[in-house]
Amino acid sequence: MSALEQLKASSADSKSFFLFWGVNIFDDMSLSGYTKEKSSIVVLGLNIHTAPVEMREKLAIPEAEWPRAIGELCGLNHIEEAAVLSTCNRMEIYVVALSFHRGVREVTEWMAKRGIPASDLASHLFLLRDSDATQHLFEVSAGLDSLVLGEGQILSQVKQVVKSGEGVTGFGRNISGMFKHAITVGKRVRTETNIAAGAVSVSSAAVELAVMKLPEHSSDSARMIVIGAGKMGKLVIKHLIAKGWTKVVVVNRSEERVDALREEMKDIEIIYRPLTEMVASAAEADVIFTSTASETLLFTKENVEPLPPVSSMVGGSRLFIDISVPRNVGACVSDVEHARVFNVDDLKEVVAANKEDRHRKAMEAQVIIAEESKQFGAWRDSLETVPTIKKLRALVDGIRITELERCFSKFGDDLSKKEKKAIEDLSRGITNKLLHGPMQHLRCDGSDSRTLSDTLENMHALNRMFSLETDASVLGQKVRAKVEQSRRETQ
């Protein structure tokens, strides 16, 4: 079962899914003992498959706040690295947890602080670990987990996670490596399969929904208004052009972005209106698309109810198509006579068709995802032995230097610089050759048949033989350091 299938299956009973992993976020007893375990990559979140927009919008994190969220997450005792992927269809937290059980609990409690109790979150959250978490992100980047299969906007959003994380403490080697690899996967899938052929975006699905809801004879004459001139609004206008519209009103805070749209799109008349004229402009429109980053409602029952009715020629109802998360149009607007409200969850109606074709295209992509997941897993597994490699080399090099100094002291000033260098080079050559075998058996990069279990067995053996104490002490030291730092900050 793919990570995507596990995710969707888990939405039916997410609490059981937590318990399946041995994580009971409601029971302290399950977290009573710190176990010696390797760090885990974990994704915890909710998306359009598991939670309604009413819940997603409460947890949504604006892009500008992603670095701050990473800092807060990495301030938790058992979280070492973090990333946030928050879009209109998902809010997913990716972390490297020093303790899987405690890390999951800490992230869940952190999410609950945004206004949804952990007990309510449980029935909507999904949880994936290590290879399943990696596979899920790769499927997301490839467009397999999107409402619209193969849509390209999600790949841009994954790229933005990497861009936002640059220079941010906590967006570390594991998480950044995984997201960068996900970008590669997204590009490969779109290049080597036909998954993007005929693919639509959330914006195009919104336009398609409007066409479906308008009477057939009036679809190209209905008066259109777009609130917001950002990426989503721009795509809405492009798809309106493709559907035959020649005029659209764009409401935006400033005219600068609208001027840029005019320059780019010559096939449609774009009329600018400032945000202060939003309601007045809506009064003259039949279909209103909203796509802003506003965290407060733009349209409510109070400002929609006074609007004049629309013509029966366009169905007699004013359509509000809200593709923003958080929503720009209040659910209460549906109570207004002659007003109909649709949000991103309603776009499922548009993409429900052609399920068989979607499944076939997804299968093509899964071959690439499986291959890339294996490569990333091998790379990450190789990192597990890095502390042992460093300590073993430091130990041997320390012995080499001590013996070298003892040797030089016996000769006093009788050795020339050239002779000393020759002896030092000899000592380095001997230690490098002696270390070559052990180092080779500590590498697990997927280039040979050596398995991770073989590599870890070799690591444990070297730890015992040379008393390196890196098996679990590294995790323990990190946890103790974070706990101590938290204590100091609260004093």
List active site positions: 88
Annotated ligand binding at 115? The verdict is no
Annotated ligand binding at 230? The verdict is yes
Annotated ligand binding at 186? The verdict is no
| Beta strand extents in 238-350 (DSSP E only) | 247-252, 269-274, 287-290, 318-322, 339-343
Annotated ligand binding at 366? The verdict is no
What sign results for the dihedral spanned by CA atoms 149, 152, 157, 163? positive
Q: Please give the torsion angle defined by the CA atoms of residues 105, 106, 108 and 112, in that order, rounded to the nearest 10 degrees.
A: 130
Annotated ligand binding at 233? The verdict is yes
User: At a CB cut-off of 8 Å and minimum separation 6, what does 162 contact?
Assistant: 176, 179, 180, 183
Question: Burial, 38: exposed, middle or buried (Cβ in 10 Å; 0-12, 13-18, 19+)?
Answer: middle
Annotated ligand binding at 87? The verdict is yes
Cα angle 72-75-78, degrees, rounded to a multiple of 5? 125
Annotated ligand binding at 477? The verdict is no
Annotated ligand binding at 231? The verdict is yes
Annotated ligand binding at 446? The verdict is no
Q: At 454, which amino acid appears?
A: D
Query: Using an 8 Å Cβ cutoff, are 202 and 87 in contact?
Result: no
Annotated ligand binding at 146? The verdict is yes
Annotated ligand binding at 470? The verdict is no
Q: At 35, which amino acid appears?
A: T
Residues making up the chain, counted from first to last: 491
Structure tokens at 298: 């733009």
Q: Please give the torsion angle defined by the CA atoms of residues 436, 441, 446 and 451, in that order, rounded to the nearest 10 degrees.
A: 170
Annotated ligand binding at 302? The verdict is no
Report the alpha-carbon distance of residue 84 to residue 157 in Å, rounded. Answer: 11
| Beta strand extents in 72-165 (DSSP E only) | 79-86, 90-97, 126-129
Report the alpha-carbon distance of residue 240 to residue 232 in Å, rounded. Answer: 12
Categorise residue 167: left if φ over 0, alpha if ψ from -120 to 50, beta otherwise.
Answer: left
Query: Using an 8 Å Cβ cutoff, are 180 and 83 in contact?
Result: no
Annotated ligand binding at 343? The verdict is no
Report the alpha-carbon distance of residue 168 to residue 157 in Å, rounded. Answer: 17
Binding-site entries for substrate: 87-90, 146, 151-153, 157
State the binding site: 87-90, 146, 151-153, 157, 228-233
The annotated binding site for NADP(+) is made up of 228-233
